[in-house]
A and B are shown apart, each in its own frame.
Chain A
Amino acid sequence: METEPFIILSAILFTIGCVGVLVRRNALVVFMCVELMLNASNLALVTFAKANSNLDGQVAAFFVMVVAAAEVVVGLAIIMTIFRTRRSASVDDASLLKY
């Protein structure tokens, strides 16, 4: 079993997530793309754990999952609050600090 295909798949998924964050306007979908990037990095961590024959990479992936869960909870609460006040989930509408 080679290591390269897993790492390259991880890079491709990270790139797709990255482009999604830049291109999409809906705050929810932007958030999903952030999750995609986190998952891609997790795949790289787990792959390296197996490549290096120790479990440290899996522990790191576990911590990434915990942080992702916390981030999603707070982020979705913020999106809900913005939607409640502005009736919109578009990231372009939340530009109040600009003016």
Chain B
Amino acid sequence: MTAFWILAPVMVLAALGVLFVRKAVHAALLLAVVMMSLAVLYAVLEAPFLFAVQIIVYTGAILMLFLFVVMLVGVDASDSVVETIRGQRVIAWVFGLLFGLTMVIALSQVSFSAMGNLADDNAGGNVEGLASLLFSKYVLAFEVTAALLITAALGAMVLAHRERLTPREGQADMAARRMREYAETGKHPGPLPAPGVFARHNAVDTPALLPDGSASEASISRVLAVRGVGRSGPAMAGDIEEIRRQLGIATEADPAADEETPGDTRQGADGEES
């Protein structure tokens, strides 16, 4: 019972956290806490097989699947606060609390039998006991489960499959497209510049510097730029000024330093810089 009284508050707090955190990744991690605690409670309740299955299937497979989908869905995963139905949130909270209150009151009025003992059923091992039930009394449900799993796997494959509508762009097509873009818009046909490697910063969020001292926006990932975590050109320019001052080099006014660099004409850029 000690394990229960330690884990129960943790589980309730983590479950409440799922309600209140803003990011889906944090919700998934809090759900992992709840599921691991549940696994320990299964072990307390003499269900070692379900303890293992809970950890392997829930925290191992299902939550990893959730995390992968969060990664695929990406930055947009934050919750919107706009209410489409007026007062829906308040009503949901009121009814949810009423529901919980009803359940707790009703359950506390029922007198349950004290915990039994699974020693007889688990005598030959918990897994053996479950298996003898699964393959005798519940064998039909077990077969139906197999059909369900196959259907789910097929359904997921069909839903996640994307038909290729345009022919694949080969190397020759890519070269032709680049040269055409160069002729039309003047976009540089070569590879993009690498991020900057400097004395103070050498991470991928540091843009490379152009010969005039301004930062090349094309040298950092578009995702970083959209998320606003890349080092901006003016910040780099400030750094350069500081280094120059430390070295005692006379700084000349550089009008190009704090201008945004043109030329990042890649298509499909999401635009908005937060």
Tell me the A residues contacting B by CB distance below 8 Å. 1-9, 11-20, 22-26, 28-29, 31-33, 35-36, 39, 42-43, 46-47, 49-56, 58-59, 61-63, 65-74, 76-81, 83-84, 87-90, 92, 95
Contact = CB atoms under 8 A, between A and B. Distances in A.
Contacts of B129: 55
B80 A90 contact: yes
Nearest to B24: A28
Contact of B50 (A23, A58, A68): A58
B115 A13 contact: no
Contacts of A66: 145, 148-149
Nearest to A95: B84
Interface in B197-246: none
B152 A7 contact: no
B53 A62 contact: yes
Given A58-B49, A66-B148, A43 B115 contact: no
B54 to A, nearest CB: 7
Interface residues of B, number: 85
Which secondary structure characterizes the binding site on chain A? helix
Nearest to B89: A23
A6 B119 CA distance: 20
Contacts of B153: 73
B156 A73 contact: yes
Contacts of B156: 73-74, 76-77
Interface stretch (B58-66, B164-172, B173-181): B58-66
Contacts of B134: 59, 62
A11 B77 contact: no
Contacts of B99: 15, 18
B272 interface: no
A80 B159 contact: yes
Question: What are the 4 closest A-B residue pairs judged by CB atoms, nearest first?
Answer: A53-B116, A15-B100, A19-B96, A22-B92
Interface stretch (B7-15, B186-194, B253-261): B7-15
B4 interface: yes
B120 A53 contact: yes
B152 A39 contact: no
B131 to A, nearest CB: 10
B133 A83 contact: no
